[in-house]
A and B are shown apart, each in its own frame.
Chain A
């Protein structure tokens, strides 16, 4: 089955700096890669996703890049703000909402003033 590795497990940045979180996946059949933000005591919230036919996607301060050959994808957050502090999870699945998501281990992001 699919295996998703995520690094780093914790990341501390100064407000205004950029944050990068990296994930690798094992199953070449995976073609949908979402990123989720989870605040304490809440369910995961989708912040951005990318499909395998696209190499990069951006939404304001958030961007995701995908390298299918190397089987890795990354989340980039620019101009970080204190409210960006949370746990971030990457995930992977094969096409279709009926297929299960495999999650990475999570990254605790702390944005310091």
Chain B
């Protein structure tokens, strides 16, 4: 089946630094990538949607200059958290899909802790 690899699985960074999270679709071409954030005991909240070769579409309330998304190829998308602060600490999850498919494949998530 479809596999999405997400790295790193966890990262600790200092306040004010930037962190990049990668999401790769290993055996299919992901025309669309979704990035979610999940706080403890809560549901997944969509942050942004990116189509290959296009700028990402951000959900209301998500700062596009803080959460930089790149989807330059059909197999790779990255999320960069810039100038991270402790309130950005969360579980970040990517999801990949193809426009001709109904399904969505999720990455294993990245636990970000900003100290």
Contacts and interface: CB of A to CB of B under 8 A. Distances in A.
Contacts of B31: 97-98
A43 B93 contact: yes
B58 to A, nearest CB: 12
Interface of A is mostly: loop
A64 to B, nearest CB: 14
Contacts, number: 63
B44 A103 contact: yes
A49 B103 contact: yes
Chain B contact patch, size range: 20 to 34
Contact of A98 (B32, B107, B109, B111): B32
A47 interface: no
17 contacts: A41-B109, A42-B109, A43-B6, A43-B93, A43-B106, A43-B107, A44-B93, A45-B106, A46-B106, A89-B44, A96-B102, A97-B97, A97-B98, A97-B102, A98-B31, A105-B43, A106-B42
Interface of B: 6, 31-32, 34, 42-44, 46, 49, 51, 91, 93, 95, 97-109, 111
